[in-house]
């Protein structure tokens, strides 16, 4: 039997039918950036948790993506500022359906 190939969108969370896929993708991108910063700085989990002002257990759950549904974009931006990362939020009028878009650089 030939394999069926599914061509998805650019949002895997939408492809698998999760609720709020755009928000989940935005959180996943922010989380990936947080993980990258922590790795690039060579921070141990315990030290990173202290810097983010969360328990090591919560840190592990957040970083492993277990709390992606529960963690808010606000919490993730707080973690980024605790890591001394600059955050810029742009709001502009949409010429059609509004979008939630995260750009990392």
Residue 99 has pLDDT above 80, yes or no: no
Higher pLDDT, 94 or 70: 70
pLDDT of residue 57: 94
Distance CA(4)–CA(74), nearest Å, equals: 39
**Domain positions in the chain:** 29-82
3-state helix/strand/coil string of 32-58: HHHHHHHHHCCCCHHHHHHHHCCCHHH
Distance CA(72)–CA(38), nearest Å, equals: 19
pLDDT digit string, tens, across residues 33-73: 999 999 999 999 999 999 999 999 999 999 998 888 899 99
Residue 1 has pLDDT above 70, yes or no: no
Q: Identify the CA nearest to 29 among candidates 70, 82, 68.
A: 68
- Counting residues of the chain whose pLDDT is more than 90, the rounded percentage is 57
pLDDT of residue 41: 97
């Amino acid at each position: 039997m030939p394999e069926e190939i599914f061509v998805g969108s650019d949002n895997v969370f939408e492809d698998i039918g999760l609720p709020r896929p755009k928000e989940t993708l935005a959180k996943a991108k922010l989380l990936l950036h947080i993980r990258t910063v922590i790795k690039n700085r060579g921070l141990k989990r315990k030290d990173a948790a202290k810097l983010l002002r969360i328990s090591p257990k919560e840190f592990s759950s957040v970083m492993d993506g277990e709390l992606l549904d529960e963690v808010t974009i606000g919490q993730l931006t707080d973690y980024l500022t605790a890591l001394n990362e600059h955050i810029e939020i742009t709001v502009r009028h949409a010429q059609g359906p509004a979008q939630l878009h995260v750009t990392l650089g």
